Amino acid sequence: MDTKQLRLGYYDSQISPEQIRTGLLLANFATSALIIRMLLLATPGIPSINWLRVAQGGLLVIVVGAVITFRYILQYKKHLNSFGATEAIFLLIAVVIAIGFFNVGLDNKDGIDNYSYFLVVSLVGIIGNYPMRLLIWVASVTSYVTSNWVISTQHSGSFWAGSIYFATTLLIVTLMIGAIMSTLAGRNRLRITINSMVAHCCKFSSMEQAYAEAVKLIPFAVPSMAVVAFVRKIPDSNRNILGFWTQENIVPQDILQDDELQELLVSSSITTNAKYLIMPAGFTEIGEIFLVVRRKKAMGYSSRYPDEVAYFIGGGLLRINSEVANLSRLTKESLTDSLTGLANRRALELRLDSETSHSHRSNSPLVIVMLDLDNFKTINDTYGHQMGDEILRRLAVLMTARIRRQDMSARYGGEEFLLILPDTDVNGAVNLIEELMREFKAITDSINLSKSLSVTFSSGIALFEPGESVDSFVYRSDQALYKAKRIGKNRYVIAEQQSIVQN
């Protein structure tokens, strides 16, 4: 996943409706007094209006509006991206200057249009961050002092007292709006980040892969020194690490062996303090999963509301568990034979491609063995398909128990099976087949079948030759199997070399 997708700006289209509604409500409150004051301009006794200054301010507003309209047209036609931070700040400063022209043009000693500055501050609260709010506050105070300097005939202590009072009031309003809007923006950012994390991690079919990716995305949701995901198996307390992320000189053992963390993990519940966020992600087939965030000191929503952040992330992890477990089950079912529990033909083909490529690159031996039950049709006709299915299952259990971890047993089709034996030569395969033949005879002898009807298997053994295709490899083992059938069954035949077969 491209992690740049999670670097949400303050000026993109992912502003939540909650932010917009709250911001517009604040703007309406801030400008309600302005509307009343503007209506008073129509009453007798109001000083005359300086239409030149009003026109200058109006022209500046028209220019800003034209720029915004033009930008949206280009963005709609996909010629330009959305507004950047610098561009948005310049446009807002232009609006602040326009308000200063209006203020002078209305020729009001008290600054009849001063409330417009609160409108700008409120709108900045919707889309801006703290540096942007501070910059607009400075621009607004400068515009206010400049415009009222032009209006006022006396620049005495009362003028500066009024300016300080206005600057302080505007700063308080800016901080209040910033606190409200930064919380809403932080919560929205967290939701988008968690949804992106879930969508990305749910593509994997194993918990190990999912959490290895999840720990990389958590720092976008909460400032982090390190993030570790581990599974605590029950009943023992061994902890296996699923994923780890850090930009500090920290190793996962430093975190997991911390005495403070050990005490917090006892409750197996979401726990937060100044140092850690601990989120149990639920019980899975591999054990109980925990995600621990070693917090970094920072300001903002995630620092003010760590419990809420932890619950959001915990909910996302539970969704990941559910989706990954379901995908894992579906993947396993799609690659598993339902009767025997062995790999099916599709899984076999994938593994053969991988093993032949590895054998060719590393020049290591690779053997496959094709097995086929003898007299199987007669068994089904005489004792029924239930007995035939039972014999297939018993052979599958026997092969699974006798092969190594790196080997693979698969049901090729019907009563045919195929063994993949990496790093094994023909002698090793022969020893395995002879052992399977002896043990399978003992198993079938325990089944109450007619003495005249024995259940055995024949097999063909093929050694992979460098550069050989998979189809040729399987074909040679299949031909060896048929030869074993023709010459008497209950035996194995070693396949001829590829060059001999081609000749």
In sequence order, what E strands does 254-386 have? 271-272, 276-284, 287-295, 366-373
Measured distance CA(57)–CA(193) in Å, rounded: 41
- Alpha helix stretches (DSSP H) within 44-84: 51-76
Which of 465, 460, 471, 474 is CA-nearest to residue 498?
A: 465
Measured distance CA(143)–CA(151) in Å, rounded: 12
Which of 312, 64, 67 is CA-nearest to residue 198?
A: 312
Residue pair 456/374 in contact (Cβ under 8 Å)? The answer is yes
Measured distance CA(404)–CA(410) in Å, rounded: 14
The residues that are catalytic are 415
For 299, the token pair is 């300001």
Bridging pattern class, strands 287-295 and 271-272: unpaired
For 479, the token pair is 């031909």
For 271, the token pair is 């726990």
Q: Which residues contact 121 (CB under 8 A, 6 or more apart)?
A: 30, 133, 136, 137, 140, 170, 173, 174, 177
Contacts 24+ apart (CB under 8 A), 441-450: 443/394, 443/395, 443/398, 444/391, 444/394, 447/387, 447/390, 447/391, 449/379, 449/383, 450/382
